[in-house]
Amino acid sequence: MNTRRLPAPPFLLPGLIALGAGLWAGLLRLPLDLPTPHVALAGAHGPLMAGAFLGTVISVERAAALGGRPLHWLAPVLHGLGGLVLLAGPLWLSPARSFLLAAWLLVGGAAGLLALSVAVCRVQPVFFNQVMALGAGSQLLAHVLLAGTGSVVAATPGWIGFLVLTITGERLELNRLLRPSPDAQRAIRVLLGVLALSLALAGWNLEAGTRLLGLSLLGVAGWLGVYDLARRTVRLGGLARYTGLCLLSGYAWLGVAGLLMLSGPFQGAGPWRDASLHCLFLGFVFAMIFGHAPIIVPALTGLAVRLNLGFHAALWLLHAGLLLRVAGNLAGMTALRVHGGELGALSILLFLGVLLASLRRANS
């Protein structure tokens, strides 16, 4: 039996390609007049970002945590292949067939991630690991709905559940030394239970499920804002302060996303939906990525990260762009929304550039 461990970085590459393609697709949806390899790319924005990119990154992290043996990497490989098919598939297949193929590859990737998460739970059967496994199950549900219906709208609640449950589980793991009170522990269990219920309800009635999802997100954001370790680390210096700023600002955007879902129209397309989803996927999820990457990347690559002002610049550019986008959506000002979207994409590219530059400097 081959037990050789494989390095993580090569398995991240398809995810980074999916990120680049997803950002380009998002700019096309603003809309901006940009070149595109095929007309189907704009419609693949959601699957590329939530499915291929984030599915790959989280699968890589989970595979590495289990030891990085060959079979562990099947989940990120399938997620990455799904992204590559979304990007290039319509060049040799019809858009419908390439989308279906990509969706089933993502189903396979999500099933692999769920298997990895269950394996982690067997090794350490504790609540935070169970929450992350539930998140992987939500990702699988999203991709099955995507493959079965061809609808990004139907898959979106599952993607939200995947990311919120995964991130919350990770924060519960890191915060366990703080020993929240029994009442606080019961509260987060109830909130996450309501979130899981809302995902099931959304499959039957999207509008009702989204309202309940918004309520649960508002509660989870409040809980994390009160009990998370970030409230202490933000008072320190260096990387601890930067990570704390990322996390607390992300929780604020999660709360705004919940409030928008709870109070506004959440039709298949429209400014209110655009605002709420980007508050969650951009304001919350990417703030988490910005905060955790300087810690996780060294663990996956063996390289060091030197914090510099570029990391802070990318974070504040992310928030500034999102503020413009949300304001433009809610006020009906298209130009403001477009410029906010441009700044959001620029902030992610800036962050990646700063991160790579810091790695080179640290190991030159």
- Residue 145 DSSP label: H
Phi, psi of 91 (to 5 degrees): -75, -20
- Residue 106 DSSP label: H
What are the tokens at 344? 């959001």
Domain ranges of the chain: 175-364
Distance of alpha carbon 299 from alpha carbon 286, whole angstroms = 19
What are the tokens at 122? 């067997």
Residue in this structure with the two tokens 């996956």, named with its chain if needed: 300
Q: Specify the pLDDT at position 4.
A: 60
Q: Specify the pLDDT at position 2.
A: 44
- Residue 184 DSSP label: H
Distance of alpha carbon 320 from alpha carbon 335, whole angstroms = 15
- DSSP states along 49-96: IIIIIHHHHHHHHHHHHTT--GGGGHHHHHHHHHHHHHHHGGGTS-HH
Q: Specify the pLDDT at position 124.
A: 93
Q: Specify the pLDDT at position 157.
A: 94
Q: What letters, b where the CB count within 10 A reaches 16 and e where it falls short, cover 323-332? A: ebbbebbbee
**What does the pLDDT look like over 134-148, one tens digit per residue?**
999 999 999 999 999
pLDDT beneath 70, residues of the chain: 1-4, 266-268, 360-364
Q: Specify the pLDDT at position 10.
A: 87
**Do the Cβ atoms of 113 and 85 come closer than 8 Å?**
no
Strand positions, DSSP E, the chain? none
- pTM metric for this prediction: 0.95
**Do the Cβ atoms of 276 and 335 come closer than 8 Å?**
no
Q: Specify the pLDDT at position 266.
A: 67
